[in-house]
Structure 1
Amino acid sequence: MLRVQKANRIEGKVKVPGDKSISHRAVMFGALAEGTTTIEGFLPGADCLSTISCFRRMGIEIVQEEDRVTVHGKGWYGLQEPSQHLDVGNSGTTIRLLSGIMATQPFHVVMEGDESIAKRPMRRVVGPLRQMGAKIDGRKDGEFTPLAIRGGELKGIHYQSPVASAQVKSAILLAGLQAKGVTSVTEPHLSRDHTERMLQAFGVSVVRDGLTVSVEGGQQLKGRDIRVPGDISSAAFLIAAVMMVPGSSLLIENVGLNPTRTGIIDVVRAMGGSVELVNERVVNEEPVADLSVTYAELNGVEIGGEMIPRLIDEVPVIAVMATQAKGKTVIRDAQELKVKETDRIATVVSELSKLGAKVTPTDDGMIIEGPTPLTGSRIDSRGDHRIGMAMAIAGLAAAGETWIENDEAIAVSFPNFAQILAEICR
């Protein structure tokens, strides 16, 4: 268990681990590319290691030394049929993006994961891939894992996605790269665009027109060097730590600031917090900067609509900050939280309430009343890394001690979280 005590001040200069979304894609695209890809700043968390494991089982040589990875790509059709099922562990990104890639391959594969993955919806990816011609089966007609895919000849489609999901969009685009004709995806709101940016870095032509993104089939990827910036979803917990403890300040270096991911900064600023960008630059098509964060008293806000896809992973820690903000914070249009590693609406409400927070669930989000004094308690992460970290941050403002059970889940995205927390707490 992770033990957290009330902090007097947060200060220092830190770096967060590499971006999880970019790390996944760098390995995948490197494996499909012709030639060698080197990755600096790779996130050696459990999810990204699952991606490496899957490609190794398909004959790709990958050398990993902590946060440096070398992928010896064999081109799009250099993958070999695996002799065993592909185990994606707890990684939704791995199984959904791999589904698009496997749909193009001339062999059969079965993919499965842990207990959490077995509950997560897969038909949102399976449906459009079937429209393209892929043969996919699974529990409940492909709604749940394990998924059995026999790839082959695909045709391009124009898919109108009912949800703004980078995983759905990416799976379709990756399949489209080896489909006949043009494949395009239109979303209700813009989701993360790491796939589009990185495909361009690997030499692929990607066309965007408003909320529609398209690729033409038959394109090849070329190996290259990738530098992965720090993950803003991890930085969000440290930003929140500053806002929970009066008199705090922190410099977070080398953070990826993809505009589809910076909702957390916009919300903190809207609540009255101070987050300044320092040393702005562009690395591998991705904007990067250092974040100078300073404590300020927060006010409640309403969050919904097109903002939600830009901060969906940060909602648990935004709810934590809202417990110390003046007034009411309303989070809506966040139904997607119900199909994450846990039902994050129910879990956030349950665990924050143990600390004394005033938080009420709604069908598509939650309402938090603040400011509310928090008291340390025993918290269960439920095996969800973001719940574990969010509640640890809440513990920084809670009287007494807070214990996070099942804290090993945190290693999925932030392996040295406890160490950094100890370094910055005074």
Structure 2
Amino acid sequence: MIAEIRPSGLAGDILIPASKSHTIRALLIASLAPGESVVANPLDSKDARSCIQACRTLGAEISEISGGWGGYERALQVKGIGTPQAPASDIIDVGNSGTTEYLLAGIAALAPGYTVFTGDHQIRNRPVENLLAALRDLGATAFTTRGNGAAPFVVGGPITGGKTSIECPTSQFLSSLLLALPLAQGYSVVDVPLLHEQPYAEMTLRWLEEQGIRVQNDDWKRFTISGGQSYRSFEKAVPGDFSSATFFAVAAAITGSSLVLHGLDMSDSQGDKAVFLILSQMGCRVDYLQGNALVAQTGGASGQDDAETAYAHAVQHGTDAIRIAGPSRMGRPLRGGRFDLNAIPDALPALSAAACFSVGQVELVNVPQARLKETDRIAVMTRELSKMGASITELEDGMIIRPPEAAGSAPGTPGLSGAEVQGHDDHRVVMSLAVAGLVARGTTRIHGAEAASVTYPEFFQTLDRVAGNPGTLTLL
């Protein structure tokens, strides 16, 4: 599918879809718990469906609850398996879902017998050897079928516990062990000399805490986990996804528009909520809301301290919606800056698009793991935004963006032009390029736009609904 994007302002309210990260953790824990659980408001996307199918392969029974649950239109009933057993099938195809692949690998190692993991061409190029080596240390059999450190790979259990050391360029390696080891037979110690994306590991720990699982965390360097524990059934709604919200937050920022994004709780453990701090530091106005009441506000003009104070207050008190307005509505362009994205690598594609509309240089740094996602997102975003006229220096661990100025235009007016660009089968690349196209001169044509459905199936319909200009979006 090709998406054609033309310049437009935006206005309106958007209900942000449920969190992929929370949905997958909820499904996995519910599948391991004896009895019946309810997962309300789950994400409905290709990645989520891949996880559901994988859980069914392990033996869990998952079905839609007719009429929804607890005021939510959609909910899933999950009948868990309790003690992990040999899977119903010895092959699990995770599709494009790296989260399912990594988190489920440790769980599969709990069961007797062998499980083969595979997926699409991107999954078969994503590194997994660090995790497999740790599983071997803990008593499992684990190896890749091609000897290249990537899927397809085989996991054989059951793991017994023990001690391992694992470098985690993706936090999903650690989350995999944290989810599995409480159910192992013995006591385990996991040393972590390297950990990127810490907020996602924090999310896993919060789920474990809610489950009553005992894990000792020694300053994120060592985790001590008692075996013989168990999960319990639960009823819980999945919160909105800050990773998905990032695209419309950036869209409001660069178009000088105002949008209200619903379903976002700043007290939640998702790391990508920090995008709102970054955008407010770049000059956006951000209103944090709870039940239509203002929790905190940053006006966009008073600098970093004001932005950080408002952000911290919102995190402490929680929200259910966020209003964001781009700075050009107040007669100022976006500001540049240096931003450490180590904790929020999924935000790099959208923030690199935002950087193209700043008057100052933007440095996105300390995020080497962005090269290990569905694509090498540093290289891909550099390539595709450069086609549109951006001036980008690619770093080993990030990007420096110096957007060109349009000749004769006011400061901050970008010199980006519409171009033929490629989505590279990466949902976040596709959505980021669509956002850039809202301000680039002319028409931006994104090839492979269907990849957005991996995490945000209704992205283009939502974009079309809030666009101010008819004909902003054409899908071919």
With structure 1 as the length reference, what TM-score do the two structures score? 0.92
Map of 1:397 onto structure 2: 439
Amino acid at match of 2:180: A
Equivalent residue in structure 2 for 1:366, among 390, 399, 420? 399
Equivalent residue in structure 2 for 1:75, among 78, 82, 87? 82
Equivalent residue in structure 1 for 2:173, among 157, 168, 174? 168
8 Å Cα contact 1:106/1:150 also seen in 2: yes
8 Å Cα contact 1:260/1:309 also seen in 2: no
Map of 1:177 onto structure 2: 182
The Cα offsets for residues 98-128 of structure 1, whole Å up to 9 and x where unpaired, read as: 1110111112111100111011100121111
> How far does residue 229 in structure 1 lie from its aligned partner after superposition?
0.9
Cα distance in 1 between the residues matched to 2:239 and 2:162: 33
> How far does residue 194 in structure 1 lie from its aligned partner after superposition?
1.7
Cα distance in 2 between the residues matched to 1:195 and 1:244: 33
8 Å Cα contact 1:129/1:175 also seen in 2: no
User: Which deviates further from its counterpart, 332-341 or 198-207?
Assistant: 198-207
Equivalent residue in structure 2 for 1:249, among 255, 258, 270? 258
What are the within-5 Å matches in structure 2 for residues 264-279 of structure 1?
A: 264-279=275-290
8 Å Cα contact 2:133/2:142 also seen in 1: no
Map of 2:448 onto structure 1: 406
Are positions 1:128 and 2:146 aligned together?
A: no
8 Å Cα contact 2:7/2:442 also seen in 1: yes
Cα distance in 1 between the residues matched to 2:348 and 2:124: 23
Distance verdict in 2 for CA 1:67–1:369, change over 3 Å: farther
- Equivalent residues, number: 415
> RMSD of the TM alignment (CA)?
2.1
Map of 1:204 onto structure 2: 213
Distance verdict in 2 for CA 1:169–1:287, change over 3 Å: farther
What are the within-5 Å matches in structure 2 for residues 177-326 of structure 1?
A: 177-179=182-184, 180-186=186-192, 187-188=194-195, 190-192=198-200, 193-212=202-221, 213-246=223-256, 248-257=257-266, 258=269, 260-279=271-290, 289-296=320-327, 297-304=333-340, 308-326=341-359
8 Å Cα contact 2:284/2:326 also seen in 1: yes
Amino acid at match of 2:75: R
Cα distance in 1 between the residues matched to 2:140 and 2:347: 34
Which structure features the higher share of strand residues?
A: 1
The Cα offsets for residues 4-59 of structure 1, whole Å up to 9 and x where unpaired, read as: 1100x211111111000000111111000011111111111111111111121222
> How far does residue 142 in structure 1 lie from its aligned partner after superposition?
6.4
Gaps of 5+ in 2: 66-72, 296-316, 328-332, 404-411, 469-476
SS of residue paired to 2:264: strand
8 Å Cα contact 2:86/2:111 also seen in 1: no
Amino acid at match of 1:157: K
Amino acid at match of 1:162: E
Map of 2:388 onto structure 1: 355
Distance verdict in 2 for CA 1:407–1:211, change over 3 Å: same
What are the within-5 Å matches in structure 2 for residues 9-48 of structure 1?
A: 9-48=9-48
Cα distance in 2 between the residues matched to 1:325 and 1:141: 45
The Cα offsets for residues 115-164 of structure 1, whole Å up to 9 and x where unpaired, read as: 110111001211111111110111454611111111114223253x4335
Cα distance in 2 between the residues matched to 1:153 and 1:245: 52
Distance verdict in 2 for CA 1:188–1:91, change over 3 Å: closer
Cα distance in 2 between the residues matched to 1:147 and 1:226: 33
User: Which deviates further from its counterpart, 67-76 or 259-268?
Assistant: 259-268
> How far does residue 68 in structure 1 lie from its aligned partner after superposition?
1.8
Map of 2:4 onto structure 1: 3
User: Which deviates further from its counterpart, 26-35 or 57-66?
Assistant: 57-66
Distance verdict in 2 for CA 1:119–1:378, change over 3 Å: same
Distance verdict in 2 for CA 1:139–1:335, change over 3 Å: farther
Amino acid at match of 2:80: G
